[in-house]
Structure 1
């Protein structure tokens, strides 16, 4: 099974660290006087690349190890077992997605999506996504508890990241949290299958940006994620021990009027070893109207019309799929 904690050390990351910052959240989370400086560094890093590593995030290594173990157990099941949690049983957007289903990629990976139970009774635009059930595997004891436990850890971290982004932009600390009471919160377990004969340019996931506000990514030590740098070149993003990789999504682009970009990224196909990663996607509320709160970041910037989070997400999911 994967070893999520046996990851390349920060000291070995010179080429990547030139572009993607490593930021310690400890002062921000502890509410020290240095916390605002952390928020400023976070926003500065997002402005430059759209990605940042965070350490000092308060998530125990045991929780990360547990979610990787759960993912490994899931994807080791037989095709018949996996078919029981196939996404067709849950209204298309939750459940198991076999390799070859997603368009526009190398299609050599499989995934499992599940939403987070927010405990709301939202019935507006996008409610189909908000209220969709999760198909849980019946023959994996403890799987659901591990996944839901991990989600419960990720949501507060996502709220803290958005709060820091708000402060770094000069907004009130609770600006985004006040607009995240009914968030789109989705966990994705990913399994990339190796191809020994894969050419250098083979991709398991093609170029894309994420729909939501922030994504919190945990990775094993295989690597393969690539991010387009400010010069238009693709750079390899190697995992860092104990760190989460955070990227801004399209919702933040709308909120910040392009000040924070949703940087395109992709995943190369592994040749020798399978790759596992865990992504937590977090967006502002379904029922809140998203309107730019900052002036345009560039003289010529796409105009973002006001739209609720639910309307926006439903449009993106129905246009582009899972």
Structure 2
């Protein structure tokens, strides 16, 4: 089906008010506020790197306001065809539909506890498949499956070569060997997954550059101010499946939501989510004890699928928290809804970019990411799986 024809069928599902929304919240400890709408921002003017272009001032001010006060917005004019966004979701759903024996051949846990720097890490840190409950947020297992992908550094890349045998005794090496040496464990039984996600990555990188040019201007910086910090972006993709649950299914002491409340620890996040996914992604709008949330449901603007975009902790750090890294969570879809698929793309700095996290802490982005990832999965301390 042509993407424009498909959209005509999807629009009613996206725009109407769902009765499941209120029913789901009867079983939830969250308070949903239905009125606020995330800002919609058009980035089409920022496809060019030309410093002399006359960029729309009203749009830049709208972006600055969204980053400062909301931390989330819908991105249109991002340059990614609807067909590619929908195909990526479809292929990801097919991946999770594979037999568990196949998926577990590519489990992240198989290489998570590797300690020798000179071995060829098959996955390296968190690359690969995670079963339901292996991802942990706020000390509770999350109700989702995942398949994580990171940038693969080329064989001759200096950041990979620095960890070769002759350098292993050098105590000044940065502490991110698994990220630099790791390889994505692409399932050989399902080659279309690699083909599609590779195409998706290239498109998302162009989108990330486009949005970062706009963000630079919103901070009164030169258009290409950040380019040298992400010209070799160490991007991350999380392919995620959130199984649908029964409405009366209670949370156990061990399990939380589909994904517990958190802020993203990177730079920028672009969420590509099922167009019929309702009342799942929730953005926190208050910092009070009884938090208020708005549902960041997928939307279509002028027949274009919008990406849900949010600011990560690093961008908050470097703007001295002028820009807001907003906490959010994912609630499992309620049956009879189908399982939710999303493929968030994390547009990140280069692996060797130096970050000043606070007044006393400075580290490479790779070291920062390694520390974050190691605290986010149960299998690092669970040898039973």
Q: Same fold (TM over 0.5)?
A: yes
Q: Which residue of 2 aligns with 1:69?
A: 90
Aligned to 1:296: none
1:1-322 equivalent positions in 2, closer than 5 A: 6=10, 18-29=36-47, 33-87=54-108, 88-89=110-111, 90-104=123-137, 105=140, 107-117=142-152, 119=154, 120-122=157-159, 123=162, 124-199=174-249, 203-220=257-274, 221-223=276-278, 224-230=280-286, 232-241=291-300, 242-272=305-335, 273-291=338-356, 303=359, 305-321=361-377
Going from structure 1 to structure 2, the CA distance change for 1:200 and 1:20 (only over 3 Å counts) comes to farther
Report the alpha carbon displacement of residue 110 of structure 1 after superposing the two structures with TM: 0.2
2:152 and 2:184 in contact (8 A); partners too: no
Higher alpha-carbon deviation: 37-46 or 194-203: 194-203
- Structure 2: gaps of 5 or more residues: 19-32, 112-122, 163-173, 379-385
Decide whether aligned partners of structure 1 residues 286 and 249 sit closer, same or farther in structure 2, where only a CA change above 3 A counts: same
Q: How many residues align?
A: 310
1:218 is displaced (CA, Å) by: 0.6
Contact 1:116 1:148 in 2 (8 A): no
- The 2-side partners of 1:56 and 1:304 are apart by 39
Q: C-alpha deviations, 1:189-216, integer Å up to 9, x for none?
A: 1101011144588621101111110011
- SS of alignment partner, residue 262 of structure 1: coil
1:168-195 Cα deviation digits (max 9, x unpaired): 0011222211111332201111101011
Contact residue 43 and residue 210 of structure 2 kept, 8 A: no
Q: State the Cα distance separating 1:38 from its structure 2 match.
A: 2.5
Q: SS of the residue aligned with 2:258?
A: strand
In structure 1, C-alpha distance between the alignment counterparts of 2:349 and 2:58, rounded to whole Å: 24
Structure 2 distance, partners of 1:210, 1:12, is 28
Cα distance in 1, alignment partners of residues 360 and 310 from structure 2:
20
- Please report how far the alpha carbon of residue 21 of structure 1 lies from its aligned counterpart in structure 2 after TM superposition: 0.1
Give the Å deviation of 1:267: 0.6
Contact 2:134 2:377 in 1 (8 A): no
Instruction: Judge conservation of contact 1:40–1:169 (CA < 8 Å) in 2.
Output: no
* Distance in 2 (alpha carbons) for counterparts of 1:102 and 1:39: 36
> What CA distance in whole angstroms lies between the structure 1 residues aligned with 2:41 and 2:15?
12
In 2, Cα distance between the equivalents of 1:115 and 1:17?
Answer: 37
8 Å CA contact 1:50–1:263 kept in 2: the answer is: yes
- How many angstroms apart in 1 are the aligned matches of 2:151 and 2:366? 15
Unaligned runs of 5+ in 1: 293-301
User: RMSD of the TM alignment (CA)?
Assistant: 2.6
For normalisation by structure 2, the TM-score amounts to 0.73
Query: Do the aligned partners of 2:125 and 2:182 also contact (CA within 8 Å) in 1?
Result: no
* Alpha carbons 2:36, 2:294 under 8 Å: kept: no
> Secondary structure of 1:175's partner?
coil
